[in-house]
Chains A and B, each alone.
Chain A
Amino acid sequence: MSARALVLALLAAALLAVSAAPAAAATPQVEQNEIEAEVMCPVCGTLLELAESPQAQRQKVFVARLIAAGRSKDEIKDALVAEYGEEVLALPSGDGFNLSAYLVPIVAFVLAAVALALGVRRWRRDGGDGGPAGPAPTGPSEADSKRLDADLSRYDL
Chain B
Amino acid sequence: MAAGSNLRRPVSTRAAIAVLAVVAVVGLLTFGLLSKGSSGVAVGEVAPVASLPHLEGGGSESLADYRGRWVLVNFWASWCTPCKDEAPALERFQQRHGSEEFTVLGIDSNDLSGDGIEFVRDYGLSYPQLRDGDGEYAEEDFGTTGVPENYLVDPRGRVRLAVRGPVDEEYLREAVAPLLPGGRS
Contact = CB atoms under 8 A, between A and B. Distances in A.
Interface of A: 42-43, 53-55, 57-59, 62, 82-88, 135-136
Interface in B107-132: 110-115
B9 to A, nearest CB: 12
Contacts of B113: 83
A5 to B, nearest CB: 50
B6 to A, nearest CB: 8
Contacts of A135: 3-4
Interface residues of B, number: 17
A65 to B, nearest CB: 9
A11 to B, nearest CB: 41
B112 A85 contact: no
A49 B7 CA distance: 54
A58 B136 contact: no
B79 interface: yes
A85 B136 contact: yes
Nearest to A138: B3
B79 A55 contact: yes
A55 B146 CA distance: 12
Given A59-B112, A85-B134, A136-B3, 8 more contacts: A42-B135, A54-B79, A54-B80, A54-B81, A55-B110, A58-B112, A62-B114, A88-B134
A58 B114 CA distance: 11
B79 A83 contact: no
Interface string B128-167: 0000011110000000000000000000000000000000
B74 interface: no
A135 B1 CA distance: 10
Nearest to B114: A62
A55 B134 CA distance: 12
Nearest to B146: A43
B118 to A, nearest CB: 11
Interface string B65-88: 000000000000111110000000
Nearest to A87: B134
B110 A57 contact: no
Contacts of B111: 55, 58
Contact of B133 (A53, A57, A84, A136): A84
B168 to A, nearest CB: 21
B146 to A, nearest CB: 8
Contact of B79 (A58, A82, A85, A87): A58
Contacts of A42: 110, 134-135
Nearest to A65: B114
A43 B135 contact: yes
Contacts of B134: 42, 84-88
